[in-house]
Chain A
Amino acid sequence: MYRYDVIDREFVADRAAEFRHQVNRRLAGEITEDQFKPIRLLNGLYLQLHAYMLRIAIPYGTLNGKKLRKLAWIASTYDKGYGHFTTRTNLQLHWIKLKDAPEILEHLAEVEMHSMQTSGNTIRNVTADPYAGATADELDDPRVWSEAIRQWSTLHPEFSFLPRKFKIAVTAAAKDRAATKIYDIGLAMRRGRGGELGFEVMVGGGLGRTPYLGPTIREFLPTRHLLSYLQAILRVYNRYGRRDNIWKARIKILVASLGAEEFARQVEAEWEKTRKEVVDLPDTELARIRGWFTPGFAKLNPRSEAFEAAKAGDPRFARWARHNVHPHKQPGYAIVDVSLKTPGETPGDMTSAQMELVADLAERYSLDEVRVHYTQNLILPHVRQDDLPAVYEALKGAGLATPNIDLITDIIACPGLDYCALANARAIPIAQQIATRFADEEKAELVGELKIKISGCINACGHHHVGHIGILGVDKKGEEFYQVTLGGSGEEDAALGQILGPALPADKVAPAVEQMVEVYMRERKDGERFLDTFRRTGVAPFKEAVYADAH
């Protein structure tokens, strides 16, 4: 993985020193909370419902043992001994004291981490395919380009006061594990006619109260021009994005109001005037970055007897292997998904002890790499198949071996009203109720792939619009209700969900999910996922089942 050189190290150290100075001024009463707010937000420090929340950047979701262990230590030293992984692949600590924040940044800097641009109207922490460098279906390693974007966007002088927050996601695989179509900019690597690499550029996707899938504004952008083209997009947005209304300030509104073609024309016109060689990285720098992303794989036998024997001997291991273990590009290796979705627990939460355990496993078994996925799970990307039984046993002992990746209990949920000042309704208990009903692993496996995504408010941090079943918390006269949508997808077959019917009270949500699953099991044709069945039948049978009592 990428390692800081002296320049990167001095950069985060300077940032931590600056923030210490700013916090001291605030604590001494030299600046008001109003003046301090934009300063702390630029360092990922929010004032939430009960306490300060610190959002730590995990650029393109990549960690190693040392970093994860440090996060565990920070969580137990300065917080309540756990952290929350988000759909932006960041880690949030929800119970921070203001006076501790500068010290935490210094500890983060020691392990090449920071919390820059996890908030504010800036280019936020870039996300990428969590299987980068491990999956056979990628054209290139998206982390090379993500790291280039990370550096270019960090304290970008021109783009630190944008109309709104700005999020970029990168993938280089056909299977879209980065949800590129729902970001301000989605970059999907493609091959040009001559075999050269480039990006399909999608702009103006996003969820929230006005959801859009990002239209493609350029089919093929040669990779070497990535930064100058991003600059052109950001310039058009910075100049012409709406600033009069916070709900209309995202780039998706600009793209939708101009039309994708006109927006693309403006970007191209700006790009033509750009001195590209001044903005784009030289080959030497790209090569330097790339050099950090080539782990030394061992030459292994493609078939692991130990793995096969464990599968044959232990049905629980076999089930875990079916759902949480994925093929690796390198013979003899596997990608392991670590589920943070044990039914009854809070999706995305991880205790310090669990973080430490995964840090150990990464160092010992996964070439010292861990990834965070937007589904709020972790990934050990490079595990030898021979080691899978040992990894499974260790994870199982820590409650991290739930075999449910992409199944009905692998639910995305934002922190909701339990933590978030913006939320209208709770998300975590709803996720827990649904997961508990499908806690029977055999039952969940029979249902198969089914992605439930829950948001506690219209801002859609839980991605509800693109859930196969999406659940949105709404407030009706002080009572929590839930709007259900069906048929959404955030992947390469991206679609926005369709509303099922009137919002349901909290105690009817889990039963409704059960009813819809029954409809699906009845209607499905061989091998169909829930999503496929829904796409074939439409909303009617599901609606009928859920609202039958009301007739």
Chain B
Amino acid sequence: MPTLIKSQGGRMVLANDPFTHVDDDQEIPQGDVILSLTRFQAEGDRLLSEGRSVGVRLTTEEEVEALAYDLPRIALVALQFPKFRDGRHYTNARILRERLAFGREVRASGDVLLEQAGFMLRCGIDAYEPADGSTADAWERATQRFRHVYQRAADDRVPAFVEREK
């Protein structure tokens, strides 16, 4: 089972993951599942009516706005990083949080590395499936390194230009 690290109450903690990632060609197992956008659109209603929690996995090619109408019914959005260098999901995460006001879990899946920790947290991603075996402690340290930030993002950190007004 892959590691799941979550940001909870300002701390990074190792979490149990009740969700199963389901591929498009895979039979749907019992319990809470994370589906691709296309599969969610085809089968989401049925699964939700069974009382399960359903998450949607978004590729970097897909536009986050496609989820807009379904967001109230979605338990979590998993942003799938095909390579850590593909930064489209940073914008997707911010739009989810700031423009679409999505309040539940936004998770990073795929090629997720410790070096991205600070950026991910700031863009509103609050759960991580690290591909490099990094620990919750390491993620905690990585996100605490900088005492200041220069710009507003999807987190509640106060940017330098606001700090200076005090």
Contact = CB atoms under 8 A, between A and B. Distances in A.
A14 B147 contact: yes
Contacts of A15: 146
Contacts of B165: 282, 284-285
Nearest to A18: B145
Contacts of B99: 273
Question: Which of B85, B145, B150, B164 has its CB near the most chain A CB atoms (within 10 A)?
Answer: B150
A152 B123 contact: no
Contacts of B151: 151-152, 156-157, 227, 279
Interface string B140-164: 0000011111111100000011011
Contact of B164 (A10, A39, A154, A288): A288
A155 B86 contact: no
A174 interface: no
Nearest to B87: A161
A156 to B, nearest CB: 6
A157 B145 contact: no
Nearest to B89: A161
Given A235-B91, A238-B90, A157 B147 contact: no
A476 B120 CA distance: 45
Contacts of B119: 155, 157-158, 160-161
A285 B90 contact: no
Nearest to A122: B87
Given A157-B123, A158-B153, A7 B164 contact: yes
Contacts of B121: 157
A161 B122 contact: no
A322 interface: no
A206 to B, nearest CB: 19
B52 interface: no
A18 B150 CA distance: 17
Interface string A268-295: 0000010100110110110010000000
Contacts of B147: 10-11, 14
B124 to A, nearest CB: 9
Interface in A225-267: 227, 235, 238-239, 243
Given A7-B164, A38-B85, A285-B161, A157 B90 contact: yes
A5 interface: yes
Question: Which of B86, B119, B165 has its CB near the most chain A CB atoms (within 10 A)?
Answer: B119
A52 interface: no
A123 B159 CA distance: 18
B86 A239 contact: no
Interface in B112-153: 113, 115-116, 118-123, 132, 145-153
Contacts of B90: 157-161, 238
- Give chain A's interface residue range (CB within 8 Å of chain B): 35 or more
A18 B85 CA distance: 20
B88 interface: yes
B39 to A, nearest CB: 23
Interface in B45-89: 60, 63, 84-88
Contact of B146 (A5, A11, A39, A152): A11
A10 B148 contact: yes
B94 interface: yes
A161 B85 contact: yes
A17 interface: yes
A457 interface: no
Contacts, number: 100
A279 to B, nearest CB: 7
A320 to B, nearest CB: 42
B145 A17 contact: yes
A272 to B, nearest CB: 12
B113 to A, nearest CB: 8
Given A10-B148, A17-B145, A157-B90, A35 B132 contact: yes
B6 to A, nearest CB: 18
A282 B123 contact: no
Given A38-B85, A161-B85, A281 B161 contact: yes
A121 interface: yes
B84 A7 contact: no
Given A155-B146, A273-B99, A7 B163 contact: yes
Nearest to B147: A10
A14 B148 CA distance: 9
A282 B85 contact: no
A279 B120 CA distance: 19
Contact of B84 (A161, A235, A278): A161
Contacts of B63: 239
B164 A157 contact: no
B160 A39 contact: no
A160 B86 CA distance: 10
A75 interface: no
Contact of B150 (A5, A154, A243, A282): A154
B94 A14 contact: no
A182 interface: no
A161 B146 CA distance: 19
B160 to A, nearest CB: 5
Nearest to B90: A158
B152 A279 contact: yes
Contacts of B146: 11, 14-15, 18, 155
Contacts of B150: 11, 151-152, 154-156
When A and B form their complex, which 6 residue pairs have the shortest distance between CB atoms, in order from nearest? A161-B87, A157-B122, A285-B161, A157-B119, A151-B150, A158-B90
14 contacts: A7-B160, A8-B160, A10-B147, A151-B160, A157-B119, A157-B120, A158-B87, A158-B119, A163-B87, A238-B90, A239-B88, A243-B88, A284-B165, A288-B164
Interface of A: 5, 7-8, 10-11, 14-15, 17-18, 35, 38-39, 121, 151-152, 154-163, 227, 235, 238-239, 243, 273, 275, 278-279, 281-282, 284-285, 288
Given A158-B87, A238-B88, 6 more contacts: A5-B164, A8-B160, A17-B145, A18-B146, A151-B161, A239-B91
